[in-house]
């Protein structure tokens, strides 16, 4: 269809198309954001406008797009004035009975100003990155073989050793995670190839995951945009509009045994083996998934020849399943807490949603180390190019961030009950509190 093709203006040989020129100019405009994901989102906006436009003179359209891209970069952030006890909670999320108070100046955080201040932490340290990789890979391999050796002494002992092995596998995924953001090594090539290699262990096809994860960062908290890479969450109104069987299906999907049990098994063992949702999105998703699958088969074949098929499955399956469940749990708490921030497109802003819509999962020190500081997720979403080992520096230098969207380990357990987004209350609510007249399963 004509309205679905990129517009090309005839010109001299070698001259860029209108689309290419607009994207190049937009990259220049977007450089002040200092964030790859933000820039990618702005460029996507420009491309989509070009693709959907037709019959517009190229010169006028290019001028319009440049002005739009500047507005996207310079759109002023809505400053939230909050009291010290409510840092990070939007004013509309509070009880109407609460008296509005002017907060002390030190409790306010402007996300855009903060993002610019965080640019100094973006530079990865090569020696530190190599060290972090080594102290994660070596213990993982060690615990894997200890689990294998323990199987002969008793399978239950082997299962106990599978727990730390799964923990180090989670940490390997967090390194792959940073590689996907281009923040682990100074070299993009090193990031990509280490990320692809780790994807064989984590069962995550690196290039395909990096693409879908960029969509998650670009649209996180936007009720009107694609929720690729996110946990499906309905609003109260959407849930009430479902019929009985659809409500039952959604309740089953949100059940903890499905989200953190069957879900990770499906996601890592089955869904990641083919580019689900992107079957016709070009060669990259297929090359990434099929290349990873082939490498997994080769590695599994080598390990089976060493320890035997039955033993390999008894050792590696519990490790992989447990690591997958931990990963899904972390991702859940990062975005599924009560006072998260979601909005429709006209009210949504990248910076505010990044800072206030992602949690600071304040874990005990050993778990914080094992999960590679991924709990500092509000900072990560605001400035995804910061290596995970530099996030503690950010919290030390900007102590106010410790109080924004903070969720403790105990508090995170209560997040399991949250299932619906209440647009009136502007918070996530459990099924039973969504609405006094909400029908039950038996309705």
In tens, the pLDDT along 421-442 reads 998 889 999 998 765 444 444 4
Higher-pLDDT residue of 239 and 5 is 239
Average the pLDDT over 1-9 and give the result.
Answer: 37
| 406: β partners | 360
Q: How many CB atoms lie within 10 A of CB 8?
A: 12
Average the pLDDT over 347-373 and give the result.
Answer: 94
Average the pLDDT over 301-318 and give the result.
Answer: 93
Angle between helices 58-74 and 18-30 (to 10 degrees): 20
Per-residue pLDDT band for 70 (boundaries 50, 70, 90) equals: very low
Q: CA quadruple 134, 137, 143, 144: dihedral positive or negative?
A: negative
H helices of 75-125, in order, are 111-117
Q: How many CB atoms lie within 10 A of CB 406?
A: 17
Report the candidate in 32, 29, 7, 33 with the shortest Cα–Cα distance to residue 20: 7
| Mean of per-residue pLDDT scores for the chain | 79
Q: Are 205 and 199 in contact (CB under 8 A)?
A: yes
HSE on the CB side for 291, CA within 13 Å? 15
CA–CA dist 284, 394 (Å, integer): 35
Higher-pLDDT residue of 147 and 230 is 147
H helices of 12-57, in order, are 18-30, 36-52
């Amino acid at each position: 269809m004509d309205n679905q093709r990129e517009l090309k203006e005839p010109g001299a040989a070698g001259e860029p198309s209108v689309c290419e020129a607009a994207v190049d100019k937009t990259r220049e405009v977007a450089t002040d954001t200092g964030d790859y994901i933000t820039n990618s989102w702005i460029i996507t906006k420009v491309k989509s406008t070009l693709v959907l436009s037709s019959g517009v003179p190229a010169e006028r359209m290019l001028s319009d797009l440049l002005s739009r891209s500047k507005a996207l970069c310079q759109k002023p952030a809505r400053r939230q004035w909050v009291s010290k006890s409510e840092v990070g909670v939007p004013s509309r999320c509070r009880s109407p009975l609460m008296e509005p108070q002017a907060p002390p100046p030190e409790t306010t955080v402007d996300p855009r100003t903060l993002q610019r201040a965080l640019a100094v932490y973006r530079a990865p340290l090569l020696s530190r990155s190599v060290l972090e990789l080594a102290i994660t890979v070596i213990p993982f391999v060690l615990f894997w073989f200890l689990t294998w050796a323990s199987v002969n002494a008793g399978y239950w002992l082997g299962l106990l050793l599978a727990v730390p092995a799964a923990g180090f596998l989670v940490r390997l995924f967090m390194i792959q995670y940073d590689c996907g953001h281009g923040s682990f090594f100074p070299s993009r090539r090193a990031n990509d190839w280490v990320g692809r290699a780790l994807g064989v262990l984590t069962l995550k096809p690196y290039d395909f995951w990096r693409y879908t994860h960029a969509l998650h960062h670009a649209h996180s908290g936007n009720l009107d945009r694609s929720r690729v890479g996110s946990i499906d969450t309905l609003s109260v109104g959407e849930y009430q509009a479902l019929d009985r069987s659809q409500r039952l299906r959604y309740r089953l999907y949100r059940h903890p045994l499905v989200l953190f049990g069957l879900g990770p098994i499906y996601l890592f063992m089955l869904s990641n083996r083919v580019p689900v949702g992107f079957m016709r999105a070009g060669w990259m998703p297929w090359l990434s998934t099929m290349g990873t699958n082939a490498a997994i088969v080769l590695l599994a074949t080598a390990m089976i020849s060493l320890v035997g098929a039955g033993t390999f499955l008894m050792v590696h399956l519990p490790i992989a399943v447990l690591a997958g469940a931990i990963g899904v749990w972390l991702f859940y708490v990062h975005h599924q807490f009560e006072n998260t921030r979601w909005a429709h497109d006209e009210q949504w802003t990248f910076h505010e949603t990044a800072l206030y819509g992602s949690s600071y999962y304040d874990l005990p020190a050993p778990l914080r180390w094992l999960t590679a500081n991924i709990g500092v997720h509000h900072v990560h979403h605001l400035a995804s190019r910061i290596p995970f080992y530099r996030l503690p520096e950010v919290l030390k230098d900007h102590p106010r961030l410790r109080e924004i969207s903070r969720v403790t380990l105990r508090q995170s357990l209560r997040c399991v009950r949250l299932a619906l987004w209440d647009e009136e209350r502007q918070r996530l609510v459990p099924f039973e509190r969504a609405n006094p007249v909400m029908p039950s399963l038996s309705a």
